[in-house]
Chains A and B, each alone.
Chain A
Amino acid sequence: MPPLLRFSTLSSFCAHIALLSVSDLAYAQAGAVAPPAPPPTEPAEPVEPVTVRIEGQKKAGAASETVIERDVAHAAPHKSGSDLLAVVPGVFVTQHSGQGKAHQIFLRGFDAQHGQDVEIWAGGAPVNEVSNLHGQGYADMHFIMPEVVQRVRALPGTYDVQQGDFAVAGSMFMDFGYEEPGFTGSTTIGSFFERRMFLAYHPESFDEETFAAFEAQATNGFGPNRAARRISTIGQLGLDVGQDVHLRLQASFYAGRFDSAGVIPLARVQSGAIDPFEALDPNQGGDSMRAQIVAEITQQKDDESRDRYSVAPFFIARDLRLRNNFTGFLIDPVNGDGTQQTNEAKTFGLTGRYARRFDWLSPRDEVEMGVFARSDWVDQRQVRLSGVNDRVIENIVDAQIRATNVAGFVSAELTAVKRIRMKAGLRVDGLFYNSLDKVAEESGAERSAMGFHLGPRATVDVLATTGLNFLASFGTGFRSPQARSLANGETSPFTEVVSFEGGARYTTGPDLAVNVAGFHTRLDNDLVFDEALARNEPVGPTERSGFVGTITSRPTPWLVSQTSVTFTHASFSDSDADHQAGDLLPYAPQIVARADIAASPKLTTMLSRALVMKAGLGLSLVALRPLPFSELGSNIFQADATLGVRWKEIEIKGDFFNLLDSRWYDGEFTYASNFEQGEAAALVPQRHVSLGNPITFFATATAYL
């Protein structure tokens, strides 16, 4: 959370602004849209106290850290909060099992599956689910409406003490907010019978933190078995309680139901045996529910004491049902291989932070301490269902998981000679797991495991000249396991992650920011999707090296763009019977590039109302995607665009997704399947794909009252 400052008088506010202009602006982060500082003035006479909230951004913990503000995040159109992640440099998201299942996320050479390697927070609550049956760290973001995302902070690597479980490739924090004052109502219709209603309210006397929003959406999907619908509401209230306490309350509720076309063997598509839009098992799909409550108390006393703290308890209830069939009739030639997974979870937790400034080497020196706690109660079940009559053929999993993660961290930040900022910290995580698997051979056998992880983190930031900083960062993190995979009494139930990064950040202010960085990450024991077993298997140590460059520019108030290019080389570190050191890890693309451009010039004035055009373009490139057996997946180049006009209270726009109508596969996997019942099964792993959407058009009419 950004630090909040409270001022009892306008004079103290202005003095603080002066201080900011000397030090904070010199460390300004790329993409931060900080308002220009007014010149300091002395009041002619005493005035009533004015409470002003300035949300400055924390100083960068790494060269490639980015804060994506609303204008960049919404430059190109997005269908959901998950899609919006594509704006984060290096992120590639796919959705291979229906518009309701969590996206698969790729970042910096990591195939994070559905979230196991990317820590995601939304509105102050964690999105990753512990020991979710479908995937560790499962992060379903469909409850997030794109309109209410105020900013996305992306922290790559593991360099910040506040990064905890699932922060292997990095962390992302989504802040909610809605800027349009008053009522907003919009209706969308589009291709494949897309229809959506969005309602929002933001009181003008409050900042964008306070709002309420509602969404109802439905689509028939771009092919058979792709229908989906969802409903979601988010409400957030920011209140000043007294002079120096701020309270933020947030609640969100979501439900979605979706069908899934699953994946299809590429060879059969290429031979013409099946239509690429076909769903080989029409019983696939699922439903998802989420409820989330967050209460955050933030306090800072007067600036002389330089204390601030925040406490944020949260509660999350989740319910997920997934029905998949990835292998057809390979395992059960008669009944088929369809499975149903259900996962119900309740999560209680809190974050707490306390920071104090000291005047050691500089007035900006600071020590911060904090805690994090999270407990999860999970009930999960997996059964195999007959494709003929939905009868339960086999009980595969019937487990209860209890998990607790408690962490404490401390960090100190010192600034020497106003040019060298050093931050070092230590985070200690304790993880406890208890699992009871009623289906296991020893029915009723209960296992527990507990371990500790020490995570030192450090960053050195050197101000070379005005606007140019060089940073070097180091940190260690961990990847937690599926609780059911642990043996009783294991004391190190996680994978160690070590990250390094070095680079430069250059900014001239909000109008231009450039950052470039090289990074290296090592894991002592990784998991890779095994094509023979069709599941993740331990593969020993791995490493990822690469570089990322991001340019964010706002040459004029009506033009914004962000372009990023990320290259990653992910490989095995050691040799064994199945691979050699240096062999590429499959699935994570080596090149991910993205450009978001938006122009919103005022065209003219009609009837005293400005007529503003909004044009936006999002370009995505994913290339050099290694697949097993020395193959390369297909490259993806996508263009999404939006074009609209707003005449004060009325806005009409058209969104195009896949503007070039390219045939593309968002998911590519290599494993064996047999969808031709009765035929000789192909047991050698083959490529399977999920088709990406063709050109799609949405028309939206919005009223702002």
Chain B
Amino acid sequence: MFKRCSFGSLVLSAFALVACGDDTGTPSGEEGAITFTSWGEEYIEQEIPADIFEDGYSIHYDKFLVLISNITVADEEGNVAASDENAYLINHTEAGVKEIVKFEGLEAKNYTLVHYETSPAAREKIQLVGGATEADADMMASEQYHVYIEGTLSKGGESKTFKWGFGIPTLLDECEGEIDGKLTEGAVVTSGGDDVIELTIHGDHFFYDDLQSPDAVVRGDAVFNADADMDDVVTQAELAAIPLVDLPANQYGTGGVEGVNDLGAFVSFLSRTIGHFRGEGECFLGSPE
């Protein structure tokens, strides 16, 4: 009798053990972390070489300041697991990957909704990372820039410098990138693991020749020749004085982007596209609420 009851209860227990449906949303009790870093790659740290440019120019950046803010991690239902409202100012001409923020104690699971911003910020929210200085932060806040670049555009022994600042609030939403060769949405936290996510900044985007086409190439000619007063400095006002209609018809297409009719507005739009995810991964472009 005892043996029969024991066996019967074992059977019932087996049913109860697994008859409760899937446990996808059940907390597993395991935790891990996500670390966000940023890097400008060699294109910003060293140069964009001439073989990258369709027309043989090269770029060397002296300063490349980017404000990264409002990093948010959420699951597929939109439940926010971690968020940081700080604005981190990074000078990407300083070599190396820079750590921005680390979120610890996160439940081990997939967080498919990750977004961040490259937006102007108030001075008190700006945190310095890497080679960014207090003076850099003061300037970014007073001018309300989200990105500020200084550099030299060269070809065939000739060169022109530029110092451009852009202040357009930009949301980079639903980011996805490759983890070990596998395209993955957002972040993946494993038990005891640390998902290191690099918010990669692409310095060549300022010189794309199309706002929509995936086949856009990098060009320098139009920018180089925008130096109307021939002082070897290309200003944003000089860029704005170049109507796109005066450029070759098969270059500088604007696709579905409205209100971009000059080279200045064109480059300004491109300033919103420099943020990427895990190297070559992408996010949806939007404006913060």
- A–B: direct contact at CB < 8 Å: yes
Q: Is the CB of B190 within 8 A of A489?
A: yes
Q: Taking A491-B190, A524-B22 as contacts, is the C-beta distance between A442 and B3 under 8 angstroms?
A: no
A541: interface (CB < 8 Å): yes
Chain B contacts for A454, CB-based, 8 A: 18
Q: Taking A491-B190, A522-B21 as contacts, is the C-beta distance between A424 and B181 under 8 angstroms?
A: no
Q: Is the CB of A424 within 8 A of B11?
A: yes
A540 nearest CB neighbor, chain B only? B24
Contact string against B for A residues 438-458, beta-carbon threshold 8 Å, 1 for contact and 0 otherwise: 001110011100000010101
A438 nearest CB neighbor, chain B only? B181
Chain A contacts for B230, CB-based, 8 A: none
Contact string against A for B residues 118-158, beta-carbon threshold 8 Å, 1 for contact and 0 otherwise: 00000000000000000000000000000000000000000
A498: interface (CB < 8 Å): yes
A331: interface (CB < 8 Å): no
Q: Is the CB of A360 within 8 A of B3?
A: yes
Q: Is the CB of B193 within 8 A of A489?
A: yes
Q: Is the CB of A422 within 8 A of B181?
A: no
Q: Taking A441-B181, A456-B17, A458-B14 as contacts, is the C-beta distance between A412 and B7 under 8 angstroms?
A: yes
Q: Is the CB of B181 within 8 A of A456?
A: no
B10: interface (CB < 8 Å): yes
CA distance A440 to B4 in the complex (A): 57
B180 in complex: contacting residue of A361, A412, A447, A491, CB < 8 Å: A447
B108 nearest CB neighbor, chain A only? A491
A485: interface (CB < 8 Å): yes
Q: Is the CB of A447 within 8 A of B182?
A: yes
Q: How far is the CB of B87 from chain A (nearest CB, A)?
A: 30
Chain A contacts for B179, CB-based, 8 A: 487-488
Chain B contacts for A442, CB-based, 8 A: 178, 180-181
A496 in complex: contacting residue of B22, B184, B279, CB < 8 Å: B22
B49: interface (CB < 8 Å): no
A437: interface (CB < 8 Å): yes
CA distance A424 to B6 in the complex (A): 12
B178 in complex: contacting residue of A440, A458, A484, A498, CB < 8 Å: A440
Among A412, A442, A456, A541, the most chain B Cβ lie within 10 Å of the Cβ of A456
Q: Is the CB of B190 within 8 A of A441?
A: no
Among B10, B19, B180, the most chain A Cβ lie within 10 Å of the Cβ of B180
CA distance A178 to B193 in the complex (A): 56
Q: Is the CB of A487 within 8 A of B188?
A: yes
B181 in complex: contacting residue of A414, A440, A476, A496, CB < 8 Å: A440
B16 nearest CB neighbor, chain A only? A456
B254: interface (CB < 8 Å): no
Q: Is the CB of B24 within 8 A of A524?
A: yes
Contact string against A for B residues 156-192, beta-carbon threshold 8 Å, 1 for contact and 0 otherwise: 0000000000000000000000111110100010110
CA distance A442 to B279 in the complex (A): 10
Q: Taking A456-B14, A496-B22, A524-B24 as contacts, is the C-beta distance between A422 and B182 under 8 angstroms?
A: no
Contact string against B for A residues 483-502, beta-carbon threshold 8 Å, 1 for contact and 0 otherwise: 01111111100001010000
Q: How far is the CB of A410 from chain B (nearest CB, A)?
A: 12
B8: interface (CB < 8 Å): yes
Q: How far is the CB of B259 from chain A (nearest CB, A)?
A: 31
A426: interface (CB < 8 Å): yes
Q: Is the CB of B182 within 8 A of A485?
A: yes
Chain A contacts for B22, CB-based, 8 A: 496, 522, 524-525, 541
B11 nearest CB neighbor, chain A only? A424
A474: interface (CB < 8 Å): yes
Within 8 A of A (CB), among B179-219: 179-182, 184, 188, 190-191, 193
B54: interface (CB < 8 Å): no
B55: interface (CB < 8 Å): no
Chain B contacts for A458, CB-based, 8 A: 11, 14-15
CA distance A235 to B81 in the complex (A): 61
Q: Is the CB of B10 within 8 A of A441?
A: no
CA distance A454 to B190 in the complex (A): 20
Q: How far is the CB of B34 from chain A (nearest CB, A)?
A: 14
Chain A contacts for B180, CB-based, 8 A: 440, 442, 445-447, 487-488
B85: interface (CB < 8 Å): no
B18 in complex: contacting residue of A361, A441, A498, CB < 8 Å: A498
Chain B contacts for A488, CB-based, 8 A: 179-180
CA distance A487 to B179 in the complex (A): 7
CA distance A361 to B2 in the complex (A): 11
Q: Taking A487-B179, A491-B191 as contacts, is the C-beta distance between A424 and B10 under 8 angstroms?
A: yes
Q: Taking A412-B7, A487-B188 as contacts, is the C-beta distance between A441 and B14 under 8 angstroms?
A: no
A34: interface (CB < 8 Å): no
CA distance A496 to B181 in the complex (A): 25
CA distance A352 to B184 in the complex (A): 40
Q: How far is the CB of B17 from chain A (nearest CB, A)?
A: 6
Q: Taking A437-B181, A476-B18, A498-B18 as contacts, is the C-beta distance between A422 and B280 under 8 angstroms?
A: no
CA distance A456 to B17 in the complex (A): 9
A392: interface (CB < 8 Å): no
Q: Is the CB of B182 within 8 A of A426?
A: no
CA distance A264 to B190 in the complex (A): 45
Q: How far is the CB of A34 from chain B (nearest CB, A)?
A: 29
A422 in complex: contacting residue of B7, B21, B184, B188, CB < 8 Å: B7
Q: Is the CB of A445 within 8 A of B181?
A: yes
A705: interface (CB < 8 Å): no
CA distance A458 to B13 in the complex (A): 11
Q: Is the CB of A474 within 8 A of B280?
A: no
Within 8 A of B (CB), among A462-510: 474, 476, 484-491, 496, 498
A660: interface (CB < 8 Å): no
A487 in complex: contacting residue of B14, B18, B182, B191, CB < 8 Å: B182
B177 nearest CB neighbor, chain A only? A441
Q: How far is the CB of A122 from chain B (nearest CB, A)?
A: 30
Among A414, A424, A498, the most chain B Cβ lie within 10 Å of the Cβ of A424
Q: Is the CB of A487 within 8 A of B184?
A: yes
CA distance A416 to B7 in the complex (A): 11
Within 8 A of B (CB), among A351-378: 360-361
Q: How far is the CB of A442 from chain B (nearest CB, A)?
A: 6
Q: Is the CB of A422 within 8 A of B24?
A: no
CA distance A422 to B10 in the complex (A): 11
Chain A contacts for B181, CB-based, 8 A: 437, 440-442, 445, 447
CA distance A485 to B3 in the complex (A): 46
Chain B contacts for A491, CB-based, 8 A: 190-191
Q: How far is the CB of A113 from chain B (nearest CB, A)?
A: 21
A498 nearest CB neighbor, chain B only? B18
Among A446, A458, A525, the most chain B Cβ lie within 10 Å of the Cβ of A458
Q: How far is the CB of A421 from chain B (nearest CB, A)?
A: 12
Q: How far is the CB of B5 from chain A (nearest CB, A)?
A: 11
CA distance A181 to B280 in the complex (A): 68
Chain A contacts for B17, CB-based, 8 A: 456
CA distance A422 to B184 in the complex (A): 46
Chain A contacts for B279, CB-based, 8 A: 441
Chain A contacts for B3, CB-based, 8 A: 360-361
Q: How far is the CB of B76 from chain A (nearest CB, A)?
A: 10
Contact string against A for B residues 21-33, beta-carbon threshold 8 Å, 1 for contact and 0 otherwise: 1101000000000
Q: Taking A440-B181, A491-B191, A524-B24 as contacts, is the C-beta distance between A422 and B18 under 8 angstroms?
A: no
CA distance A460 to B21 in the complex (A): 21
A460 nearest CB neighbor, chain B only? B11
Q: Is the CB of B14 within 8 A of A416?
A: no
Interface residues of B (CB under 8 A from A): 3-4, 7-8, 10-11, 14-15, 17-19, 21-22, 24, 178-182, 184, 188, 190-191, 193, 279-280
Instruction: Pick 15 A–B contacts, CB within 8 A, sort by A.
Output: A361-B3, A414-B4, A422-B8, A424-B7, A426-B14, A437-B181, A440-B181, A441-B178, A441-B181, A442-B178, A446-B180, A456-B14, A456-B15, A476-B18, A525-B24
**8 tightest A-B CB contacts, nearest first:** A440-B181, A524-B22, A456-B14, A445-B180, A447-B180, A445-B181, A489-B190, A424-B11
Q: What would 18 more interface pairs be, CB under 8 Å, given A440-B180, A474-B19?
A: A360-B3, A361-B3, A424-B10, A424-B14, A437-B181, A440-B178, A441-B181, A442-B181, A456-B17, A456-B18, A458-B11, A458-B14, A458-B15, A474-B14, A487-B188, A488-B179, A489-B193, A498-B19
